[in-house]
Amino acid sequence: MLVKSKAESELVLDEQALIDASKVWPLPISAVAVCGNSVNIWFDRSTAFRTALTLKEWNGSQRLMNAEKVYVEEPTGNDYDTISMTEFRANILRSTIKKCYQHGGYTIVEKTDLRDNEIPPDVRHIKVVHQRSKPSPVVPHVEVLCGVVLTGLETQNAAQYIQLRANDMHLIALHRYGLRVPETNQLRELVSSLGRSAAVVDMLQTKHTNVIDIRTQQEIMRNHCTSKGASFILYNYARLAKILNKHGKLVEQGLALEIPPTYEIDFSLLVEPEEWQLLYAY
């Protein structure tokens, strides 16, 4: 980790004292190097891996329930033939916000819980909007701005864009990942599902307030190249799920051991830069 002072003067730091003090921290420091007004800090990798996996911050079931109530407006519909790409994006944002609150342990209020569609004053109301409205002291709510999606002739509605992405994912599966499956209903359902998932990733990979331009094929390709992309994410998710599923079956058959407790794992074996990057960046 690099720490840089805003001042141009040289930093004066007792490196050994910092290392000694960090021994009781959740992430102890193994080395420190001062260079001018910058400090390079190296964490103890083994402890960092063990601490992160022990905390399991990504595991929503481990979180305490939050007493605060939240109501996120429901998606307007999933009839992809009739909704625009802008509304499709807004619906994805609504669903994602709701899942984030659920993961955070908040109490989610459903539309069916409302009386006469009125939001109680003790419930935080989240609205996804395309244009900011004037604050209302009578009915307070939180607005999340969703940018518009500029579309062309080939992507006038969500169904057209999903089909376009389904075709892309089919070609990628054939040529990049070597998918060889007979043309069946199962394959068509798989490709359709991949198309929907790819469209969701496309909408979420851009900052929610920014405009997404998919008026031309060139703009669509430019949007896909700004991140790892849907094919990378979906393929690796499927690969990890397959590995975990296979391991679970082998454990049931007595052909493999269960994953040991965190305290029994030797994290000193993780010495590759990519392994640390997975923990530090993600």
53 part of a folded domain: no
Confidence category of residue 64, pLDDT binned at 50, 70, 90: low
Is residue 61 scored above 80 in pLDDT?
A: no
Is residue 111 scored above 90 in pLDDT?
A: no
Residues 123 and 230 in one domain: yes
pTM: 0.73
In a 10 Å sphere around its CB, with 0-12 CB exposed, 13-18 middle and 19+ buried, how is residue 101 labelled? buried
Longest CA span, the chain: 69
Spatial CB neighbours of 31, under 8 Å, sequence gap ≥ 6: 19, 41, 42
Residues 147 and 12 in one domain: no
| pLDDT value, residue 211 | 94
Residues 233 and 96 in one domain: yes
Residues 78 and 9 in one domain: no
How many domains does the structure of the chain reveal? 2
Spatial CB neighbours of 265, under 8 Å, sequence gap ≥ 6: 50, 53
71 to 67, 112, 120, 141, 158: CA distances (angstroms): 13, 11, 10, 10, 26
When mean pLDDT is compared over 20-29, 55-64, 228-237, the highest value belongs to: 20-29
Helices (H) and strands (E) in the chain, counts: 8, 9
54 part of a folded domain: no
Confidence category of residue 5, pLDDT binned at 50, 70, 90: low
Q: Which domain holds residue 98?
A: 66-238
178 part of a folded domain: yes
Residues 9 and 120 in one domain: no
248 part of a folded domain: no
Which segment of 28-32, 125-129, 161-165, 234-238 scores lowest on mean pLDDT? 234-238
